[in-house]
A = this chain, B = another copy of it.
Amino acid sequence: MEKQTITIYDVAREANVSMATVSRVVNGNPNVKPATRKKVLEVIDKLDYRPNAVARGLASKKTTTVGVIIPDVTNMFFSSLARGIDDVATMYKYNIILANSDENSQKEVQVLNTLLAKQVDGLIYMGNDISDSIRQEFSRSKTPIVLAGSVDPDEQVGSVNIDYVAAVEAATTQLINSGSKQVALVTGQLAQPINGQYRLKGYKQALQKAGLPYDESLVFESETSYHAGLALFAQLQKAGATAAVVGDDEVAVGILDGALDAGVKVPDDFEIITSNNTKLTEMARPQLTSIDQPLYDIGAVAMRLLTKMMNKEDIDAKTIRLGFDITTRKSTR
Contact = CB atoms under 8 A, between A and B. Distances in A.
Interface in A279-313: 279-280, 282-285
Given A86-B100, A285-B260, A119 B52 contact: yes
Copy number in the complex reads 2
A280 B283 CA distance: 9
Interface string A52-86: 11110110010101001000111010011011001
Contact of A98 (B98, B113, B250): B98
Contact of A55 (B58, B82, B90, B116): B58
A117 interface: yes
A226 interface: yes
A97 interface: yes
A16 interface: no
A54 B254 CA distance: 45
A288 B188 CA distance: 28
Interface in A243-272: 250, 253-254, 257, 260
A96 interface: yes
A253 B118 contact: no
Classify the interface of chain A: helix, strand, loop or mixed.
Answer: helix
Interface residues of A, number: 50
A332 interface: no
B282 A226 contact: yes
Given A74-B76, A282-B226, A285-B257, A87 B65 contact: no
Contacts of A250: 279, 283
B284 A283 contact: yes
Contacts of A99: 86, 90, 95-96
Given A53-B114, A72-B83, A254-B283, 15 more contacts: A50-B117, A53-B118, A53-B119, A54-B58, A54-B119, A58-B58, A73-B82, A74-B76, A74-B83, A74-B279, A82-B98, A95-B97, A95-B114, A96-B98, A250-B279
23 contacts: A3-B61, A50-B116, A52-B119, A53-B114, A53-B117, A54-B57, A58-B58, A68-B98, A73-B73, A74-B76, A74-B79, A74-B80, A74-B82, A74-B83, A74-B279, A76-B76, A79-B79, A82-B98, A83-B100, A96-B99, A97-B97, A226-B282, A250-B279
